[in-house]
Amino acid sequence: MVSELLAIESLATIASAIVAKKSSKVAGIITLTSSVSILAYLMIIGPRVLYDVVSLGAILPGNIVIGLTQVGWYFSFIVALVMLMASMFSLEYVKKLNATYWLLFNLTFLGAIGVTLSIDLVSFFLFWELMTWSSYLMVALGDTRAGLKYFLFSILGSISLLLAFALMWRLSGSTIIPKAFPIVATSSTAIRIQLIMLLTVGFGVKAAMFPIHVWAPEAYPATPQPFAALFSGGLAKLGAYGLALLTMFVSASKFMMFEDVVWGYVLAWLGAVTIIVGAVLAALQENVLKLIAYSSVSQMGYVVVGLALMTSLGMASALYQALNHALFGSLMFLIAGAVYLATGTLNFKDLGGIADKMPLTYTAALIAVLSSAGIPLTTGFNSKWMLFEALIIKNYYLIASAVFVGSALGFLYNIKFIYGIFLGQRPKSLENVNEVGLLALIPMLTLAFLNLAFGILPGIPLQYINTALTSLGIPSIEASLTGIYTNIGYWNVLYVSVGFVLAFGLAMVLFIAGGKLRRVSVLETYMSGFIPPENYVLRINYDFYQPLKFVFGRYLRLSVDRAYAWTASLFVKVADIIRKPIYLGDAQAYVWYIIATIILFFLIFIVGGV
């Protein structure tokens, strides 16, 4: 029953790749139709447990199990929703896309949705690799260097997962995830530490967790903006999905040990550092895509911190934040795509003042940055409020302080995003800018609406989050349609919404009744009595946070990226030293190497009694 979803997307992948050579628009329509079908199917059946046993026949021995779990359904919904918005936006972007794009776009989605529908480790890994390789090729087509970096880190993640899955199968005797994952909590200390480390690295790479995040800021901007929305809003969430499975099975177990608590504490600190580092670097970017890429790294840090707490409230906040970042993170990438379509540039120094030229895009952007910054009445506030409550209840005050600093720094890049693109003085080159088409506006406004709807009605996503938690034996959190309740406080959006509407209405009445209004241009300003001429540049889009760069300059030189580069160069030098006395270019010497190797193995077998 569930395997039909994969069949639909497989057919869409093949069909779109074939017809894209003649009509990219038709390929986009096929992709859009399949994504609508999959999202509609998921919404109709809801979170439930469904298993389909699929025989691989001559391809591989045995069977794989495809199906749904409550946790898998939740992440399937996130990926399918982002895919739908991205595929619709792609139709507006269609003139810049080709057959390769549609093939890799659909293959990536097939792999991503396959991961969430996998019930056994074999299918999980196969779909994980399909998703990884498809997204790698998309990145490499845009930027070879970024593709290589993403490839290397993906290899690290894949090897870690493969080793962990093999060890889990060996210990549990099963490849079924609900049977294999609990072995992490019931195995010996040495095995537990190995599994936790391998799974954290394997899933942490995809979630762009510090310090294995350095591929993301280059990989996201290297792809077309609709794909970047799926990359950040969907694929990164599958790293969170894997970490969620790990932390949920460990926390639901009766065998939690001291090393599990230590691992959770270290993981929480890694998440907090991810928030801060991502936020600082996002604020210092001079390109819109680079800013969004670093902000995505920062926002995923909240998910990591929440999962690391291994409490009901902490994990609920993480699952909520995963959905929230899918909403406003993918929206920000789509906004960047709309701006690029309208202006032809994404450099802050060339942008500014286009809010009145693109009012609907500006409205969506304003909602996106408010939600990203965690302003009340947006969905971004709810998950962050829950996370701070969970940290306080857990007595992790230092980590809470670090997360708070990261949240404050988040305001910086969000202000730069909205001001640098839409506000301030408009360059003359942008006077003829117009709003983008309907196929781009619909997904942006839909995501903007969901950011507000789930902000005012947190009970809607929380009912599915509670279902996911309770399915693994983890207690649910208390929530109503408009309220969230914890042991130390509550957040009722209804009261705040009513107060906001009344305050806003009063402000508008006073504003309108205050006297005659007139439009004031940007040039009608003064600086110490100096009235600037009409061609005077008032924009401060470039080097927006120069003081911040001055403060953090010495720390920015301590780059993780440079540390990896230095390590790689060291390995190359060592390998070169070892190579020179061995690789002599003499065939006779190579023959003696082979003979010596055979003798060595023979001696080892004799001594070992093999």
> Which tens digit of pLDDT belongs to each residue from 556-599?
666 666 666 767 777 777 777 776 666 666 667 767 777 877 88
pLDDT, position 58: 47
Is the pLDDT assigned to residue 539 strictly greater than 80? no
Paired tokens of 145: 């260097």
Is the pLDDT assigned to residue 420 strictly greater than 50? yes
For residue 283, the tally of other CB atoms under 10 A from its CB is: 25
Q: Are 479 and 459 in contact (CB under 8 A)?
A: yes
d(CA 40, CA 76): 12
Is the pLDDT assigned to residue 369 strictly greater than 90? yes
How many angstroms separate the Cα of 529 from the Cα of each of 524, 526, 536, 557?
12, 6, 15, 41
E-strand ranges in 326-428 read none
With bands split at pLDDT 50, 70 and 90, how would you rate the model's confidence at 302?
very high
Q: Comparing C-alpha atoms, which of 377, 433, 376, 405 is closest to residue 275?
A: 405
pLDDT, position 347: 87
**Which contacts of 571-575 are long-range, i.e. CB under 8 A and separated by 24 or more positions?**
none
How many angstroms separate the Cα of 560 from the Cα of each of 118, 211, 212, 274?
34, 7, 9, 12
pLDDT, position 448: 94
Higher-scoring residue by pLDDT: 453, 5: 453
Mean pLDDT of the chain: 81
pLDDT, position 507: 82
Q: Are 437 and 92 in contact (CB under 8 A)?
A: yes
pLDDT, position 499: 84
Segment of 14-18, 71-75, 169-173, 245-249 carrying the highest mean pLDDT: 71-75
d(CA 21, CA 3): 28
- What's the average model confidence in pLDDT over 41-63? 63
395 phi and psi angles, rounded to 5 deg:
65, 30
pLDDT, position 93: 77
With bands split at pLDDT 50, 70 and 90, how would you rate the model's confidence at 531?
low
Higher-scoring residue by pLDDT: 52, 250: 250
Could you identify the residue written with the tokens 């932390």? 247
Higher-scoring residue by pLDDT: 268, 497: 268
CA geometry: angle 286, 288, 290, nearest 5 deg: 75
pTM of the model: 0.85
Residue spans of alpha helices (H) in 20-98: 24-45, 70-92
Share of the chain above pLDDT 90, in %: 13
Paired tokens of 331: 């929206």
Q: Check whether the bond before 211 is cis (ω within 30° of 0).
A: yes
Question: Which residues, 6+ apart, have CB-to-CB distance to 75 below 8 Å?
Answer: 116, 237, 238, 240, 241, 244, 322
Question: Which residues, 6+ apart, have CB-to-CB distance to 384 below 8 Å?
Answer: 302, 317, 321, 374, 407
Is the pLDDT assigned to residue 609 strictly greater than 60? no
> Using one digit for the tens of pLDDT, what is the confidence trace for 455-494?
888 889 999 898 888 887 788 888 888 888 888 888 888 8
pLDDT, position 526: 56
> Using one digit for the tens of pLDDT, what is the confidence trace for 3-17?
777 778 888 888 887
Q: Are 89 and 443 in contact (CB under 8 A)?
A: yes
d(CA 307, CA 246): 9
